[in-house]
A and B are shown apart, each in its own frame.
Chain A
Amino acid sequence: MKFVTKSPWILHYDGTSCNGCDIEVLACLTPLYDVERFGIINTGNPKHADILLITGSVNEQNIPVVKQLYDQMAEPKVVVAIGICATSGGIFAECYNVVGGVDKVLPVDVYVPGCAARPESIIDGVVKALDILAQKQKYARKKTGKNRINQETAKI
């Protein structure tokens, strides 16, 4: 299972972001920063993803969408809040339709500050998330028993 922490697949969802952080997340994948060379892929399917990147805060309408995406992801999973809006609401915190940071609905593991967050700091946040992912994996194995996967395949 080492490939999970070496080449995690990423799912990106735009909460109520202004696009600034979204294009910076995409910029991480393109030639100047190029994280794809490590096998990190931006996938559109939540079932394939290990890390959930959320830009922008949450509002009443997208809370069910965010929750659903998180529930569909397989364990172990990590949530990274990108940008100040995802962290606390930022400049829009006082808006009537903004509930607040992503941590109001999901357990956030890493917060990446900035408006807009720079690609360097986004990559740094994802690298930090990898440690947490490894820890979660270890914990999950302890809890369920190391050979659970083998036993299950034996049954089939």
Chain B
Amino acid sequence: MKILTEHINVPGIETIDVFRKHGGYSAVEKALKKMTPDEVTEEVKKSGLRGRGGAGFPVGMKWSFLAKPEGVPRYLVCNADESEPGTFKDHYLMWKSPHTLIEGMIVSSYALGANTSYIYVRGELMYVVNILEKAIQECYDKGLLGKNILGSGYDLDLFVQPGGGAYICGEETALLESLEGKRGNPRNKPPFPAVKGLWQSPTVVNNVESIAATSWIVNNGGEEYAKIGIGRSTGTKLISASGHLRKPGVYEIPLGITVEDFIYADEWCGGIREGHKLKAVVAGGSSVPILPAELILKTANGENRLMTYESLSDGGFATGTMLGSGGFVVMDETTCIVHNTLTFGQFYHHESCGQCSPCREGTGWMDKVLHRIEHGKGREEDIDLLVDVAKKIEGNTICPLGDAAAWPVAAAIRHFRDEFEWHIRHPEKATQKGAVFMREGASWTK
């Protein structure tokens, strides 16, 4: 079942003519001509679609929070600042099929009563900005954007805004600050963007994948969408698969397949690269807890782990993780967990905006300590120190970047403490090129 990527490999799908030949923009026709904005919102609510950027908040509910005071413009802003390590699905979708996003933008803007909408794309993806702008121009030429779209009386202007290189702008209020031409410092909440967002006007910020999915929901109905998946994990999800896989790439999966299938089935990633064994997975982008092979395939209760919000988080952080943004990073037995944790530590240190003290100072501290351990200068007490620093950051910051920085460090120690200890106790071995600790009796140990 493919909703977003069914035609993604059709030659010329990036052009409006080919896209329309494959059913593109039928949702715009249907929504604008046959449905009221509230009816569109109602379908999205029924679909159970949850935010695909990482937090998993129900999209329809987020829309219903939008304040609608008279005479004040409302905005829809698409969050295409995809920067969470391990995640590259939005990049793929916009690059291959820009109209899929634009169609969703028109439908969603209509539902929200926005007459101006923006797609905020990370600046590094300037070539994608160009692809989107070209596609948007096609829409203006065909009367799908601009004044009185398809004679419906609805007006919409759509613009693409490039970022400048800052992971933090994926946080919705930092994104809005950035879109206002400022530093990407997250705002204190409340007020939430639904009340005071872009230029203090009510604003909805949604991920690329969430917005793109709304067209299908309009075409087929929310109930149809909700039939896909399991429980509260409805629909399909783009998973960015990277690391030691036979076939890394972006896959659209129906939520609910098993993790084991996703990793090993030929339909998906096709297994671990030749001659190697699965050691660990970061299932939802770098910020979610890493899990060792046995816990990613089965929950602590011995049940098959599924690719759903609920199953991946089964067991809480003690034995579970999160679906997050669907950045699925797979590591085989050649992976040094300490080194991998260090690269994530460096990442969050580098990307902290520096506004609030726990994140500004804590991310730098963890980076320095991890760096010492990786380079053979660790002390026995550093492991507990890292756990404690992570704990002092978590939950105490303005935005979720603090949590995102704390979780991977805490989880790596939770599940791979022996590797950290080995680094500290055997620096001469651990600092050799390619040296990796082998846990005795582990499924990945040869």
Task: State yes or no: do A and B come from one complex.
Answer: no
